[in-house]
A = this chain, B = another copy of it.
């Protein structure tokens, strides 16, 4: 089954201790699509400017990403420029130019409206709500958000929460949204407002999935070489949603596996600049990494006498 994602399609210029990328493919919609396309057909809705090197998106199309919904508008493309210091912990944003993205009004193509799996990547909650008004009876709707929207669009974000099945957000955002330092309490706060599942991403420290009655945790894969952390969260979401769409299984065990597949895809994202790693990634490599996650956390219970 297909996944519909509405998000940004950007040009990233990134500097890490290991090198530089100039105007590389970036944006939440792009990273999500590159990751999810390893599992299932993807339908991407977004906007680029008339200066976008549209040819570069071919690599997504070749991987089964339907780009019909990527609108070309007059003006500059969304550009982000950032830098990571030696510990790779957090990006320092050097420049953000929204360009045509600032006037983006998502229009879901007719043939996309019945997509069963919908991911509302990190865009204005008003637009996320607009997408929900256009799609028809999705099986699962998940959204992401960020500090900027939590601050400036709180009422709309709360309205959105009441209408999604699942939200992914990072630990800092969860604390900001709920005004609660403790993540278990923060998750409960969010669950009380609508979503049946809350995924709190902690970057290099892994991810929690909370439901009303359960907690599941997957660590980040301990890589010896993290090259560029950009896009890891969207690649996580792509793996998570892609896995669910592929299997069509929304049971609790399947959702747990989806978190692990998401973590695996996040770990691949950071091994290269941009979406490069997803262009060469094989099914066998994904399987092998999921097995490594299994070994990483598995232990045999005993009965302590």
Contact = CB atoms under 8 A, between A and B. Distances in A.
Nearest to A208: B222
A110 interface: no
Interface string A70-97: 0000000000000000111000000000
Given A219-B206, A257-B299, A181 B214 contact: no
Interface in A168-221: 181-185, 188, 202, 205-206, 208, 214-219
B299 A256 contact: yes
Interface of A: 86-88, 181-185, 188, 202, 205-206, 208, 214-219, 222-226, 243, 246-247, 253, 256-257, 259-261, 283, 286-287, 290-291, 294-304
A295 B256 CA distance: 11
Contacts of A298: 297-298
Please tell me how many copies of the chain the complex holds.
2
Contacts of A214: 295
A225 B256 CA distance: 25
Contact of A300 (B216, B222, B257): B257
A109 B243 CA distance: 60
Contact of A223 (B184, B290, B291): B184
A185 B42 CA distance: 37
Contacts of A294: 299, 301
A181 B86 contact: yes
A100 to B, nearest CB: 37
A286 B304 contact: yes
A59 to B, nearest CB: 22
Contacts of A297: 216-218, 297-298
16 contacts: A182-B223, A188-B224, A206-B219, A214-B295, A216-B296, A216-B299, A217-B222, A217-B297, A218-B299, A256-B299, A261-B304, A286-B304, A290-B304, A294-B299, A294-B301, A298-B298
A290 B208 CA distance: 18
Contact of A301 (B202, B223, B290, B302): B290
Nearest to A187: B222
B260 A299 contact: yes
Nearest to A17: B181
A259 to B, nearest CB: 8
* Interface hub of A257, A287, A301 (most chain B Cβ within 10 A): A301
Contacts of A222: 183-184, 208, 215, 217
A252 B253 CA distance: 27
B206 A296 contact: no
A183 B291 CA distance: 21
A287 B303 CA distance: 8
